[in-house]
């Protein structure tokens, strides 16, 4: 297909190889390079097409913006402004989360901008398909968008049309790898939005989408804080799934909290959003950086969740990303039977890495050899419910009792003091899930899917906070009668090592065919590979000696423990260290898809705020049961 560029024709030519329109004879390629395929949109100042760049072998997609003003009386001034816009976009497009400007051309008396095509979904469509955003998703949105706004404002540019449709979540990483899949991109810096400022001097005219624009912008006096207002209104729309027109009462007061329904928002984020959407510009945030500074306070444990009026009781429906009261520190009720069901055998393929040295001295090279073998483990199956008529279950693997040394030796590459002092830990027998909890498993129990990397229900669920996981465990306790919980940090490392003493359960190093991580930053002896762009389906790679998959990479995994800076007073019985330390932050282990290899070591430990989730963090669950 080849779309005619003549506004008076608009014929859709059936063949892509044509040079001229079969209907009107107009040239079909711009600059003998860019071909329009179909119209994406049309406004008073021009049209937007999806196109391809035929000068490159792969014919990559691009966006073509054609300029022709409907008001011919202002065409000369509008054309001048269009050229100024091209210069601005050339500068702004250097920011990785703004589409790159490829070309500014003129053909047949019409001007064109050729921009990068962003493969993804805009947030309005995501809202329509998935429902209201959780607080964690809003925090991620703000963390992505605010630096973009600070960047453009520093260059004296006001976007003027921030709204869900103009924010795209990438399906794939950028070609440079600088922007990960799932990141937000701000689009539509097109000529129409900039050129129409020529009409702002007229009473009653405005720029942007009326439902999102700031009061001063309606009067034709947009300022930098106007973009922040629009971003705030975008956030409350996404949180409530209600049109912003409905979120304001007859007196012009925002009442968005009344429409949160089952959602829950922390008091800190609520205050930030309230300040973003204040009508008076002088009382609003003045810079994007100021908002970012306040967002840092969300990690403080002193901020309690805001529970909206009219919200249903939490036991009616599980909600991801809510700041709930932790329940896992409570001793399981004696009425809960803690007896293991009958165990079944399962066979699994475990892998080890051998490092073969070739040559000597400085000419030595290292070659990795991955060896696999079959082993037998024991597990039971916990049924979580039914999805689309099919049972969804959880495989709980028996981990035998044992003793191990937690932490890493000082001579281990990338060793840190947080992994010391090493001492022996006695681990009683317990069960742990064979894989990280998947999106399918989360959804069947919690009735939502907070994950960023959707499209495959067997990918790990991510973007869940430690507090969200407590809700998941409580639901599972109520359903199964078994005291499910997060593993302690000691249990997690014991299960990960599976009897090994090396940096990884596979051996001295790790390879890209054994885990999902950023292989462009390899570890000891391993060759440099390609950075991962997202999570992968659980169980895609061989397991460790206990039959557990994805202990290295894919997603960081929550543990029960409070954060402590070292192991000095860590309990020696394998239990979670929940006394002292920083209760606002909890342990995460294992590394993730976007981390360098050394972050995926068995001993590597990190921390996340307990009330925050992100696209790199998931979990697996554990339980202690008496054997029958």
- Closest CA relative to residue 256, chosen from 303, 212, 309, 210: 309
Q: What dihedral angle (degrees, nearest 10) is formed by the CA atoms of 119, 79, 68, 151? A: 20
Per the model's pLDDT, the better-predicted residue between 360 and 15 turns out to be 15
So what's the pLDDT on residue 76? 65
In order of 319, 442, 445, 451, the CA distances from 385 in angstroms are 17, 10, 7, 20
Q: Does the pLDDT at position 204 exceed 60? A: no
What burial class does residue 171 get, using C-beta atoms within 10 Å of its C-beta: 0-12 exposed, 13-18 middle, 19+ buried? middle
So what's the pLDDT on residue 302? 33
- Nearby residues of 77 by Cβ (< 8 Å), 6 or more positions away: 198
So what's the pLDDT on residue 79? 66
Mean pLDDT of 380-389: 89
H or E stretch covering 288: helix 288-295
Share above pLDDT 90 across residues of the chain, in percent, rounded to a whole number: 61
The model's pLDDT over 492-531, given as tens digits with 9 standing for 90+, comes to 999 999 999 999 999 999 999 999 999 999 999 899 999 8
- Nearby residues of 86 by Cβ (< 8 Å), 6 or more positions away: 101, 104, 113
Looking at every residue in the chain, the average pLDDT score rounds to 85
Give the catalytic positions in this structure.
161
So what's the pLDDT on residue 108? 86
Q: Does the pLDDT at position 485 exceed 50? A: yes
Q: Kindly give the pairing relationship between strand 61-67 and strand 46-53.
A: antiparallel
The model's pLDDT over 114-170, given as tens digits with 9 standing for 90+, comes to 988 888 899 999 999 999 999 989 999 999 999 999 999 888 888 888 999 999 998
- Closest CA relative to residue 319, chosen from 259, 387, 263: 263
Q: Kindly give the pairing relationship between strand 556-563 and strand 617-618.
A: parallel
So what's the pLDDT on residue 34? 94
Rg (C-alpha) for the chain, rounded Å, is 28
Binding residues for ATP, as ranges, are 65
What burial class does residue 83 get, using C-beta atoms within 10 Å of its C-beta: 0-12 exposed, 13-18 middle, 19+ buried? middle
Q: Does the pLDDT at position 272 exceed 80? A: yes
Cβ distance 624 to 483 under 8 Å?
A: yes
Query: What are the tokens at 95?
Result: 């920011």
So what's the pLDDT on residue 427? 97
So what's the pLDDT on residue 621? 98
Q: Which DSSP string corresponds to 205-248? A: ---S-TTT--HHHHTT---HHHHHHHHHHHHHHHHHTS-GGGGB
Query: What are the tokens at 406?
Result: 């937690």
So what's the pLDDT on residue 309? 26
Q: Which DSSP string corresponds to 137-161? A: HHHHHHHHHHHHHHHHHHTT-----
Residue 294 DSSP code: H
The model's pLDDT over 334-383, given as tens digits with 9 standing for 90+, comes to 334 478 999 999 999 999 999 888 877 767 788 899 999 999 999 999 99
Cβ distance 68 to 7 under 8 Å?
A: yes
Rounded to 5°, the CA angle 133-137-140 comes to: 150
Q: Which of 42-51, 349-358, 393-402, 612-621 comes out lowest in average pLDDT?
A: 42-51
pTM: 0.56
The model's pLDDT over 399-452, given as tens digits with 9 standing for 90+, comes to 999 999 999 999 999 999 999 999 999 999 999 999 999 999 999 999 999 999
pLDDT bracket for residue 313 (50, 70, 90): very low
Pinpoint the alpha helices (H) of 462-575: 466-480, 489-497
Per the model's pLDDT, the better-predicted residue between 100 and 142 turns out to be 142
In order of 61, 101, 316, the CA distances from 3 in angstroms are 14, 21, 52
Q: How far apart are CA 537 and CA 557, in angstroms?
A: 15
Per the model's pLDDT, the better-predicted residue between 55 and 327 turns out to be 55
So what's the pLDDT on residue 458? 94
So what's the pLDDT on residue 106? 85
Q: How far apart are CA 19 and CA 34, in angstroms?
A: 11
In order of 123, 239, 507, 552, 591, the CA distances from 599 in angstroms are 32, 33, 15, 9, 5
Query: What are the tokens at 420?
Result: 């010391």
Q: Does the pLDDT at position 188 exceed 90? A: no
Cβ distance 433 to 394 under 8 Å?
A: yes
Pinpoint the alpha helices (H) of 69-164: 75-92, 123-130, 135-154
pLDDT bracket for residue 101 (50, 70, 90): confident
Q: What dihedral angle (degrees, nearest 10) is formed by the CA atoms of 592, 594, 597, 598? A: -70
Query: What are the tokens at 445?
Result: 């129990």
Q: Which of 70-84, 493-507, 583-597 comes out lowest in average pLDDT?
A: 70-84
Per the model's pLDDT, the better-predicted residue between 527 and 172 turns out to be 527
So what's the pLDDT on residue 74? 55
Which residue in this structure is represented by tokens 């907070």? 450
- Closest CA relative to residue 413, chosen from 606, 552, 602: 602
So what's the pLDDT on residue 190? 47
- Closest CA relative to residue 230, chosen from 248, 241, 250, 215: 215
Q: Does the pLDDT at position 573 exceed 90? A: yes
Rounded to 5°, the CA angle 340-382-453 comes to: 140
- Closest CA relative to residue 510, chosen from 365, 619, 351: 351
Buried b (16+ CB within 10 A) or exposed e, 433-455: bbbbbbbbbbbbbbebbbbbbbe
Map out the domains of the chain with their CATH numbers: 2-116 (3.30.200.20), 120-311 (1.10.510.10), 347-623 (3.90.1580.10)
Q: Does the pLDDT at position 310 exceed 50? A: no
- Closest CA relative to residue 395, chosen from 205, 208, 539: 539
């Amino acid at each position: 297909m080849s779309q005619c560029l003549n506004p008076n024709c608009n014929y859709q030519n059936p063949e892509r190889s044509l040079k001229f329109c079969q209907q009107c004879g107009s040239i079909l390629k711009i600059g003998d390079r860019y071909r329009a395929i179909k119209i994406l949109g049309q406004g008073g100042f021009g049209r937007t097409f999806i196109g391809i760049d035929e000068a490159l072998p792969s014919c990559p997609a691009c966006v073509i913006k054609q300029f022709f003003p409907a008001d011919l009386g202002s065409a000369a001034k509008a054309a001048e402004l269009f050229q100024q816009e091209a210069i601005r976009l050339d500068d702004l497009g250097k920011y990785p989360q703004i589409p790159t400007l490829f070309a500014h051309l003129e053909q047949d008396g019409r001007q064109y901008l050729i921009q990068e095509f962003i493969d993804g979904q805009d947030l309005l469509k995501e809202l329509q398909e998935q429902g209201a955003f959780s607080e964690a998703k809003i925090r991620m949105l703000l963390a992505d968008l605010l630096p973009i706004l600070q960047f453009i404002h520093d260059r004296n540019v006001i976007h003027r049309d921030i709204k869900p449709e103009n924010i795209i979540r990438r399906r794939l990483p950028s070609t440079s790898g600088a922007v990960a899949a799932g990141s937000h991109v701000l689009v539509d810096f097109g000529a129409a939005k900039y050129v129409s400022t020529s009409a702002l001097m007229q009473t009653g005219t405005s720029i942007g989408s009326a439902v999102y624009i700031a009061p001063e912008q309606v009067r034709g006096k947009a300022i930098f804080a106007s973009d922040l207002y629009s971003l705030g209104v975008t956030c409350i729309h996404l949180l409530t799934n209600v049109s912003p027109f409905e979120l304001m009462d007859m007196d012009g007061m925002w009442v968005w909290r009344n429409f949160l329904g089952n959602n829950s928002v922390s008091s800190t984020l609520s205050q930030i959003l309230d300040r973003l959407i204040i009508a008076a510009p002088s009382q609003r945030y003045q810079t994007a950086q100021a908002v970012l500074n306040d967002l840092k306070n969300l990690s403080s444990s002193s901020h309690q969740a805001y529970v909206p009026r009219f919200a249903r009781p939490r036991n009616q429906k599980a909600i991801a990303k809510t700041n709930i009261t932790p329940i896992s520190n409570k001793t399981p009720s004696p009425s809960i039977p803690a007896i293991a069901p009958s165990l079944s055998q399962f066979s699994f393929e475990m892998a080890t890495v051998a490092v073969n040295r070739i040559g000597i001295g400085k000419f030595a090279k290292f070659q990795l050899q991955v060896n696999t073998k079959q082993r037998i483990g024991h597990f039971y199956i916990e049924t979580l419910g039914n999805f689309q008529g099919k049972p969804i279950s959880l495989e709980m693997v028996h981990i035998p009792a044992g003793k191990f040394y937690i932490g890493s030796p000082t001579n281990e590459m990338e060793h840190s003091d947080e992994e010391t002092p090493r001492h022996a830990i006695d681990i009683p027998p317990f069960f742990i899930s064979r894989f990280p909890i998947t999106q399918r498993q989360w959804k069947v129990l919690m009735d939502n899917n907070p994950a960023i990397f959707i499209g495959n229900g067997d990918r790990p669920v991510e973007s869940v906070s430690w507090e969200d996981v407590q809700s998941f465990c409580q639901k599972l306790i109520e359903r199964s009668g078994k005291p499910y919980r997060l593993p302690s940090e000691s249990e997690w490392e014991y299960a990960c090592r599976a009897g090994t003493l090396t940096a990884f359960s596979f051996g001295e190093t790790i390879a890209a065919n054994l885990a999902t991580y950023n292989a462009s930053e390899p570890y000891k002896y391993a060759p440099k590979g390609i950075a991962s762009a997202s999570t992968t389906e659980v169980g895609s790679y061989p397991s460790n000696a206990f039959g557990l998959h994805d202990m290295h990479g894919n997603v960081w995994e929550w543990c029960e423990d409070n954060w402590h800076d070292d192991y000095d007073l860590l309990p020696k019985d394998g239990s979670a260290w929940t006394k002292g330390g920083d209760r606002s932050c909890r342990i995460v282990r294992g590394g993730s898809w976007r981390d360098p290899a050394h972050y995926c070591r068995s001993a590597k430990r990190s921390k996340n705020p307990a009330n925050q989730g992100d696209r790199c963090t998931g979990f697996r669950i554990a339980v202690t049961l008496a054997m029958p």
